[in-house]
């Protein structure tokens, strides 16, 4: 069975602080895919990044960076110099090669205080 | 390039009624998945449609059914509504079909309230 855990329910930071959102996943499949989505109050899930299990390279995109570690089954997301517009709920998701559905964590609500 | 669209945006129904939600996938996408997101929870997979057939189903009762049309758009039907069906229903599309694990792109959702 597949499972995604986001232990941080809510995080508040002051603008310009760095913040890391944690994601731990469980799967027995050797080929799998990890994703991060952002959900603003409007409700639409916005795709941020995809990482394949066979590619452990970390990635940086502007103020966003992702740290994928298979050894600890983690796929953490860091926002550098946070901004008010980063306030949203962030979801980590897992998909495996042998299935079609996405498994989502319960989300982390991030509030950036001006 | 139009993204995933869903209609209606909001819906209020009473227990026992039936509801139909609609989704048009992103241009070039042929696979549609439906998710239910209860308040404060992550999305839960309902089912996925590809080539007008249900390809995979999550842990949802038969009251939840769907359809995919030749133009790849899709409908989600829920019969005999329960209070617990109140949620945000999200549609996601991906391309192309087959075994490739493509990224899913989500629509804005339909907020269903059952009274």
Task: Say whether A101 and B45 touch across the interface (CB within 8 A).
Answer: yes
Task: Say whether A33 and B101 touch across the interface (CB within 8 A).
Answer: yes
pLDDT tens string, chain B, 115 residues long: the values are 679 999 999 999 999 999 999 999 999 899 999 999 999 999 999 999 998 999 999 999 999 999 999 999 999 999 999 999 999 999 999 876 544 467 889 999 999 999 9
Task: Say whether A101 and B58 touch across the interface (CB within 8 A).
Answer: yes
- At B1 the pLDDT is 65
What CA–CA distance (Å, rounded) separates B38 from B83?
12
Residue of B nearest to A43 (CA): B108
For residue A6 the two structure tokens come to: 């986001």
**A71 to chain B, closest Cα gap in Å:** 23
**B34 to chain A, closest Cα gap in Å:** 10
**B82 to chain A, closest Cα gap in Å:** 22
Q: What confidence tier does A103 reach under pLDDT thresholds 50, 70, 90?
A: very high
Residues 37-66 (A) with a CB less than 8 A from some CB of B: 37, 42-47, 50
Radius of gyration of chain B (CA): 13
- At A61 the pLDDT is 86
Give B40's contacts in chain A (Cβ within 8 Å). 106-107
Of A42, A43, A100, the CB nearest to B56: A100
Give A93's contacts in chain B (Cβ within 8 Å). 42
DSSP-derived secondary structure for B13-65: E-TT--EEEEEEPPTT--EEEEEEE-TTS--EEEEEEETTEEEEE-S--TTEE
Task: Say whether B45 and A103 touch across the interface (CB within 8 A).
Answer: yes
Spatial contact of A33 and A92, defined as CB atoms under 8 Å apart: no
């Amino acid at each position: 069975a597949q499972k995604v855990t986001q232990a941080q329910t809510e995080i508040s930071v002051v603008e310009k602080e760095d913040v890391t959102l944690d994601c731990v996943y469980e799967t027995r499949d050797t080929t799998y895919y990890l994703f991060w989505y952002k959900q603003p109050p409007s409700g639409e899930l916005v795709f941020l990044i995809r990482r394949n299990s066979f590619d452990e390279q970390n990635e940086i995109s502007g103020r966003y960076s992702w740290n994928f570690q298979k050894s600890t089954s983690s796929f953490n997301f860091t926002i550098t110099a946070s901004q008010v517009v980063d306030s949203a709920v962030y979801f980590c998701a897992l998909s495996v090669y042998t299935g079609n559905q996405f498994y989502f964590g319960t989300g982390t609500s991030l509030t950036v205080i001006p | 390039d139009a993204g995933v669209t869903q209609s209606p945006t909001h819906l209020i129904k009473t227990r026992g009624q039936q509801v139909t939600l609609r989704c048009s996938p992103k241009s070039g996408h042929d696979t549609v998945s439906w998710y239910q997101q209860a308040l404060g929870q992550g999305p839960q997979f309902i089912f996925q449609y590809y080539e007008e057939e249900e390809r995979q189903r999550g842990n949802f009762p038969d009251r939840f059914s769907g359809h995919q049309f030749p133009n790849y758009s899709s409908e989600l039907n829920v019969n005999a509504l329960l209070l617990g069906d109140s949620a945000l229903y999200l549609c996601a599309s991906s391309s192309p079909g087959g075994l490739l694990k493509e990224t899913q792109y989500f629509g804005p959702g339909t907020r269903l309230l059952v009274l």
